[in-house]
Amino acid sequence: MLSVILIILAGIFFTGIVIRTKSIASGRKGPGLLQPIKDVIRLFKKGSVYSETTSFIFQIAPTIYFSSIIMAMLVVPFGQSKGLISFNGDFIFFAYVLALGKFFSIISALDTGSSFEGMGASREALYSMFAEPAFFILMGSLAILTGFSSFQEIFSALHLGSYVSYAIATLATFVLLMVAMVENSRMPIDDPKTHLELTMVHEVMILDNSGFDLGLILTAGYLKFAIFGALIFNLFVGMVSYQYAIPLFFAIEAFMAVLVGLIESFMARFRMSHNAQFIVALTSVALLIFFGVLLVSGKFL
């Protein structure tokens, strides 16, 4: 339960820190840290408008997408504490419950009958498909290294006692950060601020959403970033007492938010044709982790 509360608290400030970092990097003051949450609250007070061309799928998709994020959040542990849902192979459940939400958001965009939203949906499906092997190779490698198959047991047994294991953790952090950028359609994969339909991915998918539904989608995105930040936290922090773990959790989340803001400030967006190459390259990094694990565990032949 503690991990759920901390992820929600981190999600409240995460996007605000990203926007504020981008503003400072461009020489502007920028909005307050709570401005994204204020925008969501304003959306929650409004009703949703549905096109006559859409079906019930478009109406239920935002709720299912938000619910999938909540279910994934319940699996994430906090240090020595298990998530509300914990079982062997729960990282597989984590990945595919997120995929379920992504699936409904994609078919929701197709349900509008818009060619632009269909284009964005096809791109999002492609990028998510390419990012999936990197995540599973990473978690499978950590499962081999620790001998466990659940999030809490893997992170509790992961001891960073050698230079090789530190290298593995660093590469794993890079993979998780890039997977988070792909899953949240951020730079350098997608520009959340662009208004040109030909170059939009996620933003073009939610053009027809409004009011309460749009608030659910935006809130789900804020929480998803915080979830991946929690995974990175668990990667480095094992059996640490709560008085140190909780401040460290927020410090890692804030550092990740600042890093995301800096990446989006100083890194240009890739061409659409290069996005797939970049995401597939993440799998190569995950394979390096896999071979490193084989080397550390003595299974490399």
Mean pLDDT of 175-189: 82
Digit-coded pLDDT (tens) for 143-159: 888 888 888 888 887 76
Q: pLDDT value at position 104?
A: 92
Cβ atoms of residues 3 and 229 within 8 Å: no
Q: Which residue has the higher pLDDT, 100 or 26?
A: 100
Structure tokens at 258: 């600042």
Q: pLDDT value at position 97?
A: 92
Q: How does residue 301 score in pLDDT terms, banded at 50, 70 and 90?
A: low
Q: pLDDT value at position 266?
A: 83
Mean pLDDT of 218-228: 90
HEC per residue, 225-262 = HHHHHHHHHHHHCCCCCHHHHHHHHHHHHHHHHHHHHH
d(CA 30, CA 56): 39
Across all residues in the chain, what is the average pLDDT? Answer: 84
Cβ-Cβ contacts under 8 Å for 84 (sequence gap 6 or more): 1, 4, 74, 75
Q: pLDDT value at position 93?
A: 92
pTM over the 0.95 mark: no
Give the CA distances from residue 15 to residues 124, 239, 275, in Å, rounded to whole numbers and listed in that order.
21, 29, 23
Mean pLDDT of 195-221: 82
36 residue type, one letter: P
Q: Which residue has the higher pLDDT, 17 or 2?
A: 17
Of the candidates 59, 37, 82, 35, the residue with the CA atom closest to the CA atom of residue 221? 37
Mean pLDDT of 220-249: 83
Strand partners, 208: none
Structure tokens at 178: 């890039």
d(CA 96, CA 1): 21
Q: Is the pLDDT of residue 22 over 80?
A: yes
Q: Is the pLDDT of residue 50 over 60?
A: yes
Q: Which DSSP symbol is given to 81?
A: B
Mean pLDDT of 109-130: 84
Mean pLDDT of 79-96: 86
